[in-house]
Amino acid sequence: MAEYKNMSKAELEALKAELEAKYKEQSALGLNLDMSRGKPGADQLDLCEGLLTAVSTSDEAVLNGTDLRNYGGLDGIAPMKAMFAELLGVSASEVLVGGNSSLNMMYDTIARAMLFGILGEKPWSQQGEIKFLCPSPGYDRHFAVCEAFGIKMIPVEMNHDGPDMDTVEKLVSTDASVKGIWCVPKYSNPQGITYADEVVTRFANLKPAAKDFRIFWDNAYCVHDLTDTPDQLKEILSACKEAGNPNMVFEFASTSKISFPGGGVAVMVASEENLDAVKKIITFQTIGPDKINQYRHVKYFKDADGVHAHMKKQAALLKPKFDIVCDTLEKELSGLGIASWVRPNGGYFVSLDVLPGCAKKVHALLKDANVVMTKAGATYPYGVDPKDSNLRIAPTLPTVPELAAAMNMLCLCVRLAAVSKLLEA
Amino acid sequence: MAEYKNMSKAELEALKAELEAKYKEQSALGLNLDMSRGKPGADQLDLCEGLLTAVSTSDEAVLNGTDLRNYGGLDGIAPMKAMFAELLGVSASEVLVGGNSSLNMMYDTIARAMLFGILGEKPWSQQGEIKFLCPSPGYDRHFAVCEAFGIKMIPVEMNHDGPDMDTVEKLVSTDASVKGIWCVPKYSNPQGITYADEVVTRFANLKPAAKDFRIFWDNAYCVHDLTDTPDQLKEILSACKEAGNPNMVFEFASTSKISFPGGGVAVMVASEENLDAVKKIITFQTIGPDKINQYRHVKYFKDADGVHAHMKKQAALLKPKFDIVCDTLEKELSGLGIASWVRPNGGYFVSLDVLPGCAKKVHALLKDANVVMTKAGATYPYGVDPKDSNLRIAPTLPTVPELAAAMNMLCLCVRLAAVSKLLEA
């Protein structure tokens, strides 16, 4: 197929008519599809049905003499810390176990910084305007937390190997009001990019103007590989230690997309000095998270190998879904010069860049045809994609046939929006 | 027995020698007892072993077509709201379900008020010094939350039927920096007092100087009756509505001392207007609490009647413990004029007032004999009991024989401290 930009006006108009006819035809099929939500499918959740009964009796709820049903255990049970330590390549003393939501731990971390400050620095809420760097496209809920707290967001470009580190280094080292940066370092949301070793090293070697600057390292997809040659992410805590910045990173992870999103276990990972300060505050907040549910996970998965084996089963279910998404994009859009994407090795999303000024239009066309996508712009701070070009595809929840139908419709809309755009120009 | 205050110096000295000898003798027995912790005993927890398997299969984790294993459900599942609504006498739309800790919900409620303000008022953190009224003796963790946030605590006397409402009314209506009051309205911690209807009505009719004043109504022991003639607490939300103060109260409760402290379900109860504002903020904090665990509770207890039936079984285990505590106090201390207490109809504690200036001494004597009590002073703001007279007894965790031994030792120490005190005077 020819690139659209090389087509004549007459050719474009003929193509437009053809695509509009197809759109009308396919819309009439009464589709009802949703590619908007980064939710596991029921088949994935069924894989760990045994988790539900992993702690079935009173006797099984006892761990080394500690009754897990009772109060206590502010920072989690030892084997849960050990499992995440192994998964993330850190020490168990650097792991703090929380409730069922890593987002909650991130929000609370920022709330604590706002109210109490970090390691003796002034509370953020008393420091005037503060800012976070936001590699974009990124995760809308990260940006929403900043917006809730009135933290000014500064978008940073994503390169193929991570955030644009020249910009990050410059802003972090010169502006003391820059207090944080949001990162999804492995299989980033939405692009599926894993930060290169050099990028991680540059992160660890940042020289922040603010003593209370922290990297928010949301390792949400740490074990969420789709292939036998998964991406490898350099471990950042030890890199920070080596660089003389042991306290500069707060890492987060959870089993939300390993076991059950509605009943998993989340962790925060940081230097012991950071965690000691956190624990001094959360001791006022809670007597401790749900230890029984932690122990269910420990008994069910046993160790990091158990988790990896489980994730291979998930990959077997997910790979065909990602394949149909990427194969359809390739078949329908490659060579047209109107869209770009990367086939990810893991994670939960495929990011699609359409012609500038077309993302909202594509979203609207799909909506009219009853195909739901994440709102255009959602992957950018304040919901504003300056180029109006990024769309996020979430392949996990629909079935393969549903995905096939939805992707055909998506590609059709991308083409239709592109043709219309080019005709306007 | 004669009241100690009527004894001559010689009689007191003889008694002191006798008590010291007994103390020495009993200390030598090598006791190792703990009456400090408001934790359920393992026998109580065993009562709901079936909760662990209440949701055992993937199919059972579906409620009206909603997969409870997956994301969603910010404010809890409908039947969990319904169960607490029935237990607390409110509407399900006034219930917000949280994680496993009501303390966490209370802390978060104050954190939100500090950062975002309440219903359009300025954030508390921007209002200069703010204050909470603290009926005392009270719950140390309530006071600790205030201390963490730098909220000034003003102790208020407890009467036999609740806080001294003359003082509460005066301070709340005249001082706009008074933003809250901590209440444990049923079987109060530590005194076991249930607020009289008139007290609840006076609470509901408060005329706060501050629009963002809230009653923190920690109904921790709402169903924790020990007798067949339990105390009745007037429902405060409807009382507040009637009084034209529908938004004035935040109520909290949990299953921590119904099912498992380390794996229960907590709720916040408030007007729909209050809850709508809360939900607008927590939507940034979490995608939702653990729905599977909520459903375990719903399936296991079925409804409010199921909870009440379960609590009767708990009472059967707890009544003998409270009896041994109160019987020993009566046998060993009544008529001596050196201690007072009330036999509670429920809750988790017995409060003991010893001669002014003696509580720390009693605590120290017990500690030396390896009997652990809650620290003297802990039941007051900043850990300072102005009369140094209150001690909190937690009968639930030890066995009956352990309690008998510990209570004998406690009474001995109360007598010894009293005699010493009277001899000093």
Give the burial class of A26: count Cβ atoms within 10 A of its Cβ; 0-12 exposed, 13-18 middle, 19 or more buried.
middle
Cα separation, B409 vs B388, in Å, equals 19
For residue A256, the distance in angstroms to the closest alpha carbon of chain B comes to 9
Cβ atoms B370, B32 nearer than 8 A: yes
* Rounded-to-integer distance, Cα A393 and Cα A159, Å: 19
Which of B57, B149, B263 is closest, CB to CB, to A49? B57
> Rounded distance, CA B165 to CA B206, Å?
10
Q: What whole-number distance in Å separates Cα of residue A141 and Cα of residue A254?
A: 15
Name the nearest CA neighbour of B421 among B374, B339, B361, B337: B361
Which SS3 state, helix, strand or coil, does residue B70 take? Answer: coil
Q: Model confidence over B224-281: pLDDT tens digits?
A: 999 999 999 999 999 999 999 999 999 999 999 999 998 999 999 999 999 999 999 9
Q: Which phi and psi angles does A235 have, rounded to 5°?
A: -75, 125
pLDDT over 80 (residue B1): no
Q: Which residues of A touch B43 (CB under 8 A)?
A: none
Buried b or exposed e, range B117-150, using 16+ CB within 10 angstroms: bbeeeeebbebeebbbbbbbbbbbbbbbbbbbbe
Within 8 A of A49 by CB-CB distance, chain B residues are: 57-58
Q: How crowded is residue B174: how many other Cβ atoms within 10 Å of its Cβ? A: 11
Cβ atoms of B212 and B249 within 8 Å: the answer is no
Question: Of B33, B19, B32, which Cα lies nearest the Cα of B321?
Answer: B33
Interface mutation vs chain B, best among A104, A106, A279, most B CBs within 10 Å: A104
In Å, how far is A178's CA from the nearest CA of chain B? 20
Q: How far apart are CA A375 and CA A353, in angstroms?
A: 14
Residue B262 is predicted with a pLDDT of: 85
Residue linked to tokens 């080292």: A173
Chain B residues near residue A70 by CB distance under 8 angstroms: 39-40, 42, 45, 260-262
Share of chain B above pLDDT 70, in %: 100
Q: Where are the alpha helices (DSSP H) in B223-303?
A: 236-242, 272-285, 291-301
Q: What's the whole-number average pLDDT of chain B?
A: 97
Mean pLDDT for the stretch of residues B311-336: 98
Q: Which residue of B has its CA nearest to A146?
A: B284
Distance of residue B336 Cα from the nearest chain A Cα, in angstroms: 37
Nearest-CB residue to B46 (from A37, A58, A103): A58
Cβ distance A290 to B72 less than 8 Å, yes or no, reads: no
For the beta carbon of residue A119, count every other beta carbon within 10 angstroms: 14
Distance, in Å, from the CA atom of A319 to the CA atom of A225, rounded to the nearest integer, reads: 9
Tokens found for residue A280: 């001094």
For residue A204, the model assigns a pLDDT of: 98
- Judging by beta carbons within 10 Å of its beta carbon (0-12, 13-18, 19+), is residue B168 exposed, middle or buried? buried
The answer to whether A183 and A163 have CB atoms below 8 angstroms apart is yes
- The Cα A36–Cα A26 span in angstroms is 20
Check B262 against A145: CB less than 8 A apart. no
Q: Which residues of A touch B263 (CB under 8 A)?
A: 68-69, 290-293
Residue B188 has pLDDT above 90, yes or no: yes
Which of A68, A262, A291 lies at the smallest CB-CB distance from B73? A262
- Rounded to a whole number, what is the distance in angstroms from the first to the last CA of chain B? 21
SS3 label, residue B152: strand
Give, as one character, the DSSP assignment of residue B374: P
> Which residues on A lie below 8 Å from B52 (Cβ)?
55-58, 60-61, 292
Place of tokens 């300056």: A386
Q: Residue B53: list chain A partners with CB under 8 A.
A: 53, 56
pLDDT digits (tens, 9 = 90+) for B379-398: 999 999 999 999 999 999 99
- Rg from Cα positions in chain A: 23
| B112 within 8 A of B278, measured Cβ to Cβ | yes
- A65: nearest CA partner in chain B: B42
- Binning pLDDT at 50, 70 and 90, where does residue B90 land? very high
Q: What is the DSSP string of A39-70?
A: ---HHHHHTTGGGGGSS-STGGGEETTEETTS
Q: How far apart are CA A42 and CA B143, in angstroms?
A: 45
> Mutate which of B45, B71, B132, B293 to disrupt the A interface (most A C-beta within 10 Å)?
B71
The pLDDT of residue A1: 60
Cβ <8 Å between A115 and B125? yes
* pLDDT at residue number B299: 98
Using an 8 Å CB-CB cutoff, list chain B residues near A289: 99-101
Nearest to A101 among B46, B107, B287 (CB): B287
8-state DSSP, A233 = -
How much is the average pLDDT of B71-98? 97
Q: A67 and B45: CB-CB below 8 Å?
A: yes
Residue of A nearest to B51 (CA): A56
* Residues of chain A contacting residue B141, judged by C-beta atoms under 8 Å apart: 284
Q: Do A71 and B145 touch (CB under 8 A)?
A: no
Q: What is the value of pTM for the model shown?
A: 0.97
Name the closest residue on chain A to residue B41, using Cα atoms. Answer: A70
Contact A99 B103 (CB under 8 A): no
Helix spans in B136-254 (H): 140-149, 165-174, 197-204, 236-242
Q: Which residue has the tokens 């991406």?
A: A231
Interface test with B, best of A283, A285, A396 (most B CBs within 10 A): A285
Beta-carbon separation of B286 and A101 below 8 A? yes
**Residue A262 and residue B55: Cβ atoms within 8 Å?**
no
Query: Which of chain A's residues have a Cβ under 8 Å away from the Cβ of B56?
Result: 52-53
In sequence order, the 6+-apart residues with CB closer than 8 A to the CB of A294 are A68, A76, A77, A80, A97, A265
* Contact status, residue B386 vs residue B416, Cβ threshold 8 Å: no
Closest C-alpha to B158, from B191, B197, B196, B198: B191
Residue A25 · residue B37 · CB < 8 Å: no
> Are residues B263 and A292, on separate chains, in Cβ contact within 8 Å?
yes
Could you say which DSSP state residue B391 is in? E
List the helix and strand counts (H, then E) for chain A.
13, 15
Per-residue pLDDT, A262: 85
Query: How close, in Å, is residue A61 to chain B by CA atoms?
Result: 9
Residues of A in contact with B288 (CB under 8 A): 101, 262
For helices A272-285 and B140-149, angle between their N-to-C axes, nearest 10 degrees: 130
Q: What is the pLDDT along chain A (425 residues), one digit of tens a residue?
A: 689 999 999 999 999 999 999 999 999 988 899 999 899 999 999 999 999 999 999 999 999 999 999 999 999 999 999 999 999 999 999 999 999 999 999 999 999 999 999 999 999 999 999 999 999 999 999 999 999 999 999 999 999 999 999 999 999 999 999 999 999 999 999 999 999 999 999 999 999 999 999 999 999 999 999 999 999 999 999 999 999 999 999 999 999 999 999 899 999 999 999 999 999 999 999 999 999 999 999 999 999 999 999 999 999 999 999 999 999 999 999 999 999 999 999 999 999 999 999 999 999 999 999 999 999 999 999 999 999 999 999 999 999 999 999 999 999 999 999 999 999 98
Closest approach of B415 to chain A, Cα-based (Å): 33
Q: Verify whether the Cβ–Cβ distance B263 to A69 is below 8 Å.
A: yes
CB B185 within 8 A of CB B162: yes
Query: Quick one: residue A125, left, alpha or beta (phi over 0 = left, psi -120 to 50 = alpha)?
Result: alpha
Query: Shortest CB distance from A287 goes to which of B69, B101, B108?
Result: B101
Q: In angstroms, rounded to a whole number, what is the distance separating the alpha carbons of residues A74 and A109?
A: 16
Q: Are A168 and A201 in contact (CB under 8 A)?
A: no
Torsion of CA A135, A140, A145, A150, to 10 degrees: 70
Q: What pLDDT score does A2 carry? A: 80
Beta carbons of A292 and B149 less than 8 Å apart: no
CB-neighbour burial class of residue A357 (10 A; exposed 0-12, middle 13-18, buried 19+):
middle
Return all residues near A224 (Cβ < 8 A) that are at least 6 apart.
A186, A187, A257, A258, A311, A314, A346, A347, A348
Please state, in angstroms and rounded to a whole number, the distance separating the CA atoms of residues A240 and B154. 46
List of chain B residues whose C-beta atoms are within 8 Å of the C-beta of residue A285? 103-104, 107-108, 145
Residue of A nearest to B141 (CA): A284
Helical (H) or strand (E) element with A156:
strand A152-159
CA distance A278 to chain B (A): 13
SS3 at position B225: strand
The partner residues of A67 in beta bridges, in order of sequence, read: A62
For residue B423, give the nearest of B10, B18, B1 by alpha carbon.
B10
Return the biggest CA–CA distance within chain B. Answer: 80
CA distances from residue B305 to B83, B301, B302, B311 in whole angstroms, order as listed? 9, 8, 8, 10
Interface size between A and B, measured as CB pairs under 8 A: 161
Q: Could A58 and B45 be called an inter-chain contact, meaning their C-beta atoms sit closer than 8 Å? A: yes
- Angle, helices A78-88 vs A291-301, to 10°: value is 50
Give dist(CA B31, CA B34) in Å, integer.
10
Q: Are residues B290 and A99, on separate chains, in Cβ contact within 8 Å? A: yes
Nearest-neighbour CA in chain A from B123: distance (Å): 11
In whole angstroms, what is the distance from residue B355 CA to residue B340 CA? Answer: 9
Residues B317, B44 contacting (CB under 8 angstroms)? yes
CA distance A268 to A253: 7
